[in-house]
Amino acid sequence: MGAGLQRMRCFAKVNLGLQVTGRRDDGLHDLRSVLHTIDLHDTLEYRPAAGLSLRVTCEGMASGTGPADGPDNLVLRAAAAAGLEGGEFTLTKRIPAGAGLGGGSSDAAATLLAVRPDLEMGELHRIAAGLGSDVPFFLYGGACLALGRGDEIYPLPEQTDLHLALAFPGHSLSTPEVYRAWDDSLTSARNPGRVNDFAAWSGAGGDGIPGIANDLEEAAIRIRPSLKDLRSALERSGARAVAMTGSGSAFFGIFDDARSAKEGARRVGEAGFTATAVRSISRAERDREVRERQSRDAD
């Protein structure tokens, strides 16, 4: 790479269970969720330059759904929040926007790690929390328990590889709209303890798979009834467990191995949806990516 050029992979996430525990005085919601990074990723390039600029291109699942490259993009907001006055960013989007996969938040966290490697994790976490609820998680990666509005992060023990089929309906969902629909139904009480089950399962090394529950799924389906067809396609594909990630619109199914996940994605694709096989990315693998980046920068 050229002098000063940094290139980072910005991994997506899935929510392995999500419980809404209440509404806060500030209008946001308290959550309890187990998150895990997956190998679907954006690519962020950064080099020092005069002034801040960003160029965004989209491919794969993100085609047609990518964010604009204006000042509201989380990459530029993260750079400004970190005190960066000049930098040229190029972002290749593969994570669709508005899908519950955390693409923008992952891009923001990668930006912080790229431009402020001198900061301690506590300070990075503080800046990340000011950018969005999911951003702090992506500073850690792997498997984590998220509490509060999602910005209280507690890393879980390393998880064995998860193989998933990720399915995207081709449209995004508005997170505020999904939460408003949840406020009208208050379905959380129907799914007590499921997130606790998943946290214990993760720490125990993954024997068996507990039922997955996402409190926001019912609200998302009321907004977009066609999401029920997407869920059904994953269920028919042979997945051992199926759930929506985040506030949608993407769903995932968990499979026994890479081959069955790939076959499951193929079947979902035949049903008319965009689908791909993905695997989990551990914290150690994410950290190795950052260390390799730092080593390249030092050369």
Which residue numbers are catalytic? 13, 134
Cα-to-chain-centroid distance, residue 17:
13
Distance CA 236, CA 257 (A): 17
258 φψ region: left (φ > 0), alpha (ψ -120 to 50), beta (else): alpha
Q: Which helix (H) or strand (E) holds 220?
A: helix 217-223
**Are the beta carbons of 189 and 19 closer than 8 angstroms?**
no
Of 282, 40, 41, 291, residue with least CA distance to 141: 282
Distance CA 59, CA 65 (A): 9
Distance CA 36, CA 16 (A): 7
Token pair recorded at residue 189? 């009480």
